[in-house]
Amino acid sequence: MGANTRDLIVVGQGAAGLAAALSAAEEVRRRSVRITLIDKASEEEAGGNTRWSPSYMRMAAPDRVEDRFVQSMLAATRHRGDESYFSRLAEDAPATIAWIASHGVEFIQPTYYLAKGPARIQPLGGGPTIVAALSHAAREAGVVFRYGCMAREVAIREGRIVGVVVTRDGSIETIGADAIVLACGGFQANADMMREHFGSGGATMRLISPGTRHNTGDGIRMALALGADRAGDWNGMHAEPIDARAQNSAPVVLVYPYGVVVDQTGRRFFDEGAGLVHETWEKFARDIQFKTPGSVAYAILDSRLLEIADYQRAIRSEVPPFRAGTLAELASLLGVDDKNLCDTIVTYNAACVGDPATFDATCCDGLAAAKTLTPPKSNWARAITVPPFLAYPLVGAVAYTFGGLATDTRARVLRDGAPIPGLYAAGEITGHFHYTAPNAVSVLRAFVFGRIAGQEAVAELSAG
Ligand SMILES: Cc1cc2nc3c(=O)[nH]c(=O)nc-3n(C[C@H](O)[C@H](O)[C@H](O)COP(=O)(O)OP(=O)(O)OC[C@H]3O[C@@H](n4cnc5c(N)ncnc54)[C@H](O)[C@@H]3O)c2cc1C
């Protein structure tokens, strides 16, 4: 590298950071840009949420998105999302998948939980495989990795980016940088920020995977300190119901539509059959955390669960359910008021007036409870009668937050609507989701805009 070598620092080794570092390294062949990827975690733990994610991606096939992709994205955001962002995502997704595949990652069309949901693809081996493959490729392409290196501040001189201030081995140092890609996730593991945006329940929320705990909003804070614009829904997060007892990563329990859910008092509080699980899990998890006493709920089922084909696919907890011969015994195992639980089930069973032969776990089967039932049950309303009775205690666990930095279609961080020279961001750290997470899009957009960020950063450094 010559005297005019410029430095690009990528912060974060998840999907967005790896895509940025690798695409930048591929762009710079014959140009003088040095690329360093820093991650606050150790080498064994780096990779953030991506490392723990199955990484389903919302594509009809590896070479195309579904026809109404952009409209679906905008509908998920209740039309508060940026159409140009989602259009660029749709345009670049096939080429990005082909690029990842060119680094040895195979894509498959996976089975999902029980019901199908939108079409998706998955890297064989999920997040861990993709992190390993792209890290290897980035190293081969000359990217330098530094672990245990936590970004805390962007260093600025005379209005220009000159470095990243980091903590490493307990001391603070500045790493020189001419451009930075921030790819260090949302603020889900920052109790103060969670409290500020979601209230006290936000600070105590379970984190869905071991990788989630590293995402403490540092990059968001660093960019906001430079005057970056905020974007996305600051009261939005993606959360899912998990087994309260489980210790494994993402121990989701997604069979709740096929029974009922009660709170600690033994009463139902939502329509368990309002839609397919990926349409109800986020609100459900948030309602458990923020609206139920003790922030816990119980999915109550009977032994007919065990007759549903492949029901295990919808349970990722390593702990078996509570099991009892009577509802009263089950209530006592759970510490739930037994009279209320029995009354709830009697009322629910009486409202199950449809033909149980039409029960179909793989789609919204239209088997609704009688209209008199409050709250309603819109699908899968089959009486709970066949012992043993089963129960899972559930809590809401956060995967990532939606509030973040405003970026344009070139992954440039905006300030007063204009790009901040040398500053890029991609992935969870950017604020493009509102109201509810579009299903299977978080990893895809991290790769697509990470790759764009790397290319754009090198182009800017080569020009300036
Ligand atoms: C269990 C689970 C299942 C999921 N399933 C899916 C799915 O199927 N499909 C989908 O689209 N999405 C899914 N998601 C969400 C998706 O995985 C993430 O939103 C996405 O991978 C985020 O990528 P990222 O690069 O933005 O952040 P991450 O992958 O979280 O990477 C961020 C990195 O930044 C590092 N970091 C943080 N702060 C600093 C700092 N100050 N300095 C240096 N480094 C820092 C972290 O250590 C981490 O390595 C899932 C998430 C989880 C946890």
Closest residue by CA, ligand 1 atom 15: 442
| Confidence at residue 30, expressed as pLDDT on a 0 to 100 scale | 58
Residue 232 CB-half CA count within 13 A: 29
Q: Is any ligand 1 atom within 6 A of the Cβ of residue 430?
A: no
| Confidence at residue 236, expressed as pLDDT on a 0 to 100 scale | 98
What residue type is assigned to position 115 of the chain? A
Q: Is any ligand 1 atom within 6 A of the Cβ of residue 423?
A: no
How far apart (Å, rounded) are the C-alpha atoms in residues 10 and 39?
Answer: 9
| Confidence at residue 5, expressed as pLDDT on a 0 to 100 scale | 87
Pocket test for ligand 1, best of 165, 174, 442 (most atoms within 8 A of CB): 442
Closest residue by CA, ligand 1 atom 33: 12
Residue stretches of the chain with pLDDT short of 70: 1-3, 30-31, 464
How many angstroms separate the alpha carbon of residue 139 from the centre of ligand 1? 20
Q: Is any ligand 1 atom within 6 A of the Cβ of residue 445?
A: no
- Report residue 181 as tokens: 């890609």
Atom of ligand 1 minimally distant from the CA of 399? 53
Mutual angle of helices 15-28 and 442-463, in 10-degree steps: 30
How many angstroms separate the alpha carbon of residue 353 from the centre of ligand 1? 44
| Confidence at residue 31, expressed as pLDDT on a 0 to 100 scale | 66
Three-state SS string across 1-48, please? CCCCCEEEEEECCCHHHHHHHHHHHHHHCCCCEEEEEECCCCCCCCCH
| Confidence at residue 32, expressed as pLDDT on a 0 to 100 scale | 85
Closest residue by CA, ligand 1 atom 48: 48
Closest residue by CA, ligand 1 atom 26: 427
Q: What tens digit of pLDDT does each residue of 37-54 get?
A: 999 999 999 999 999 999
Q: Is any ligand 1 atom within 6 A of the Cβ of residue 446?
A: yes
Q: Is any ligand 1 atom within 6 A of the Cβ of residue 151?
A: yes
Displacement of CA 103 from its chain's centroid (Å): 24
